[in-house]
Structure 1
């Protein structure tokens, strides 16, 4: 520590502290794993694996033969033939269709009433029952597939009945709705990748977390913070050196994550479901620009929270709770979709979330939106830095517990 004090007196305090913290933490295996492996690489890999598994499972249910238990298949042979033509494989009847669906033994069960044939021959309306569980998201594709086949068959037979009576099929449908979907293949990607901004924020958070803890609570616990503050150097310069080191690790972590998503994004079969996903250089550049002020803000908040802790373990607990904050904007936009207003871009985390969502949609972000996002996040970061600097002036921080 005496050697460190001499270096601070000879050279610039900011640069000396920055280089010292970077070199020391490059030798720390836990910090390296968190900053350069766990968050940056594991996140993209897990994200792509989950997306691929989900897409492949949904595609299988939409394209491959679909087994469906049918009760009363003998009462409606023509309907069964139509279902078979659509890829449905009628299965053996089950004793209790409702219980079968609840136990997840089948995604959907079809029941045909015994009086189906009699009512059909009289030209009376007939009814079939579909048993399914709407709370099971993985069963929605199967339910929609069977439901569409039954409804298409019903419309086709209804049209034939009208023709047999000398009437135009259009008589039964005096009003037709022409749907004009304005979604583009790229904008549809937002439906599946809405949590992507959260991955970037968590990467920044994880990249600097252990470093922020070690440079405050860790040094306090090791009793190395007190001699460092004893140097005739303004404490804000020491703080700036530490924050620069945390920001360097967080930014490196973000860059690795952006590179990881650019690579693994090519393996997502988005085109198979009519989506287009571009996570290349253009996307990465704008995400980096939007996230840079957030790097400083999160670094200052982590340092502030860790400075209140008396031990390394206590700081981990506090910062783990702080980690819940970044998920709020993503969760809010997922459950309560809102129309973005200009002022929203000035709110830290929310502005970044909205900007990344626009990039995913292919709409791009305007200069005004970028400016508001940078200004709002930088202002919040400045406040956090000033509060942390004020805390660094306290003698209680310098005294080891």
Structure 2
């Protein structure tokens, strides 16, 4: 029979004795540090994977696109193409190779079989001079294929556009006009967004997703092992009969879980900063790698003010997620059962992160920052773009602290109930 819970140790009276709280936390931290897999997921993964993702993916795409530009693809031809258009298609230019034209009978079959990457069919005779009328040229390609778009398809489209432009310019010259007659007004886009937002690029929304995911995964191992794991091993009962109040036990476990979660958060920030430093070396270059880095971005640079805001937000998010993990996992009979409880929590982060892709379309008011977790993700996105305000930082942090307090109270209540503690 399990021993009855001593009401004197229920933690309902008196304050927390912080040396005892730290002893409980250190006990759980030592258990976590003994697991090498936890150390890998806490330190190595955020420190290495984040730079590889935010820096390596744009570089990989740049190399792939650059390789397609330098490679000669086969393009099938049905019918007759003007000599100048054929020269435009096959001509090599700086950083871009032409295509190899081959005759085919069925353009659809040739593309589907892989014989050619794209095919051209002259439906009507094509003009060789401006003023001879118009012709129709069909382009057969796998239009949803990124390789084709950056390879044969893209080269054919640019060559046809250049051919049309050449015919038009020759016609204008015959009339005594220049090319400005076609475009009397030119439009030059200028990016007016802050420099940090420009560096963030299209991958900016991934930074809150990955940071909060690592915060959750970092605290998960400690929370599960210190509650359901101890319950399964039978060591939780010995802790509860020691001269430590239930509130001190909960506070110690919450402290240990928050520290491991924060450790992962710190290394994730370091990973993003390392990626930003590496990306800075590519700025000013004109090759494909630099263009992809500028377009996709995903770099995080912090000033002292934004660093303080980031620390506050990450700290409160870690505390909230740790309290949620402990409140859920204490109900489990075993470690595996606890995993089934906390695994769906990843959707708590993934779904809001998907919505952040469309943040530009959202009407983001002050109330949105007061939502636990989601408000923090919006605040981190603002930090990445250099748009954070002190009010929004305080709203997001305050919402997390309030949620953490409620969940910690629920965990403390659970530690005081025999049907929960001795549920296994």
Call closer, same or farther: CA 1:52–1:74 in 2, change over 3 Å.
Answer: same
Counterpart of 2:395 in structure 1 is 372
Counterpart of 1:229 in structure 2 is 240
CA contact (8 A) 1:186 1:277 kept: no
CA contact (8 A) 2:28 2:253 kept: yes
Instruction: Please tell me whether residue 305 in structure 1 is matched to residue 328 in structure 2.
Output: yes
SS at match of 2:313: helix
Measured after TM superposition, the shift of residue 215 of structure 1 is 0.7
Q: Distance in 1 between matches of 2:17 and 2:323?
A: 27
Call closer, same or farther: CA 1:178–1:256 in 2, change over 3 Å.
Answer: closer
Q: What's the CA shift string for 1:340-364, capped at 9, x where partnerless?
A: 3332222233333323333333x34
SS at match of 1:92: strand
Q: Distance in 2 between matches of 1:34 and 1:292?
A: 19
Counterpart of 1:5 in structure 2 is none
Instruction: Please tell me whether residue 31 in structure 1 is matched to residue 38 in structure 2.
Output: yes
* 1:353 aligned to which of 364, 374, 377: 377
Q: How many residues align?
A: 391
Q: Distance in 2 between matches of 1:13 and 1:106?
A: 73
Q: Distance in 2 between matches of 1:209 and 1:76?
A: 66
Instruction: Please tell me whether residue 182 in structure 1 is matched to residue 163 in structure 2.
Output: no
275-284 vs 67-76, which moves further? 275-284
Call closer, same or farther: CA 1:286–1:26 in 2, change over 3 Å.
Answer: same
Call closer, same or farther: CA 1:130–1:223 in 2, change over 3 Å.
Answer: same
Instruction: Please tell me whether residue 254 in structure 1 is matched to residue 277 in structure 2.
Output: no
Q: Residues 199-214 of structure 1 correspond to what in structure 2 (within 5 A)?
A: 199-214=210-225
Call closer, same or farther: CA 1:96–1:165 in 2, change over 3 Å.
Answer: same
Counterpart of 2:67 in structure 1 is 60
Q: Distance in 1 between matches of 2:367 and 2:341?
A: 31
Measured after TM superposition, the shift of residue 187 of structure 1 is 3.0
Unaligned stretches of 5+ residues in structure 2: 1-15, 284-289
Counterpart of 1:6 in structure 2 is none
SS at match of 1:116: coil
Counterpart of 1:343 in structure 2 is 367
Call closer, same or farther: CA 1:102–1:367 in 2, change over 3 Å.
Answer: farther
SS at match of 1:324: helix
- Normalization by structure 1: what TM-score? 0.84
Q: Residues 17-96 of structure 1 correspond to what in structure 2 (within 5 A)?
A: 17-61=24-68, 63-72=69-78, 74-83=80-89, 84=91, 86=93, 87=96, 88-96=98-106
Measured after TM superposition, the shift of residue 168 of structure 1 is 6.2
CA contact (8 A) 2:330 2:421 kept: no
Counterpart of 1:4 in structure 2 is none
Counterpart of 1:3 in structure 2 is none
Q: Distance in 1 between matches of 2:46 and 2:414?
A: 29
Aligned-CA RMSD value: 3.3
Counterpart of 1:323 in structure 2 is 346
SS at match of 1:123: coil
Call closer, same or farther: CA 1:330–1:307 in 2, change over 3 Å.
Answer: same
Unaligned stretches of 5+ residues in structure 1: 1-8
Q: Distance in 1 between matches of 2:41 and 2:379?
A: 26
* 2:205 aligned to which of 186, 194, 218: 194
Call closer, same or farther: CA 1:191–1:91 in 2, change over 3 Å.
Answer: same
Q: Distance in 2 between matches of 1:194 and 1:106?
A: 38
Call closer, same or farther: CA 1:58–1:185 in 2, change over 3 Å.
Answer: farther
Call closer, same or farther: CA 1:284–1:130 in 2, change over 3 Å.
Answer: farther
352-361 vs 380-389, which moves further? 352-361
Q: Distance in 1 between matches of 2:209 and 2:31?
A: 29
Measured after TM superposition, the shift of residue 398 of structure 1 is 1.8
Measured after TM superposition, the shift of residue 163 of structure 1 is 3.4
SS at match of 1:326: helix
Call closer, same or farther: CA 1:134–1:329 in 2, change over 3 Å.
Answer: farther
310-319 vs 181-190, which moves further? 181-190
SS at match of 2:265: helix
- Normalization by structure 2: what TM-score? 0.80
Q: Distance in 2 between matches of 1:85 and 1:333?
A: 42
